[in-house]
Structure 1
Amino acid sequence: MRRRVDVSTSRPVERLRGRAGQKQRKRRLARTRGLCERCLARGLTRLADVVDHVVPLALGGSDDDQNTRNLCEPCHLEVTAEQFGFASIGKGVDANGRPLLSDHPWNARGGTGGGSKV
C-alpha cells in the first residue's frame, strides 16, 4: 500500500543556515562519531553522509537534535522512500531507479526508448 503525503498542510520550520547550520550539523554527526546509526544497529560500520530528521520537517517534525539521526546515503534513501510512501529500491534497478539490464528500452542508445543522452 502506497501512502501519499500532503505536505501543503505542514507548517514551515525555521532552520539554521550558514556557519551556525554547519556547526549544528557537525555537532549532530559527532554524536555517533560520524557513523550511520542504522548500520551500527545491524553490526555494520559506515560513515554517515546525512543528518536525517526522524519525523521529516515536511511532515511537521521539529529541527531539534532529538528528532535527528545520522545515516549513510543508502540508508537515507531507504528511510525517505518509506516515509513518503515510495516503493523501495528493488532488484534490477540502480539507486536512481534506472534499469540495470542493458537491453531495457531506457538503456537503448540512439533509439526512441527515452534513454539518457549522457
Structure 2
Amino acid sequence: MRPTHSDLKDRLRRAVGPMIGAVAVVYFGFHTVHGDRGLLRWWQVRQELEQARVEAAGLAAQRAELAERVRLLRPDSLDADMVEELARRRLGMGYPGERVVPLVPGEGLDEGQ
C-alpha cells in the first residue's frame, strides 16, 4: 500500500519537533565546547592566567631584589661593599692582579646594567 499525501504530511509534522530539538542540541553542544566562552577557551584562559602568575612572581622577586639594593644605597644605611661594587662596575676598575670574568648578558644578577 502506498502512503498517501496526508500520511506523509502527518509524518513530517511529527518529525519536525525532534529535528528542531536535535539541531538545538548540536548547536548548543558545539558552542559549549568551541564558543567564545566554551570549554576550550576556558582552558586557554586558565593557562594564560597561570603564565601571568608565574611572571608576576618573577617580577615580584626582581622588585624585592632591587628594593634591597636601593635600601643599601640610602644615606642612612650606606653599605660600603655595595658602593665599592657599583663604583668598580661603572668605572671598570679593579685591583692589581684581579681577574675579571665577564658574564654573558642575561646571566648576571644585574641584567639591566
Q: TM-score, length-normalised on structure 2?
A: 0.20
- Determine which structure has more spread, i.e. the larger CA radius of gyration: 2
| Structure with greater contact order relative to length (CA < 8 Å, sep ≥ 6) | 1
Which has more strand, going by share of residues?
Answer: 1
Which has more helix, going by share of residues?
Answer: 2
Q: TM-score, length-normalised on structure 1?
A: 0.19
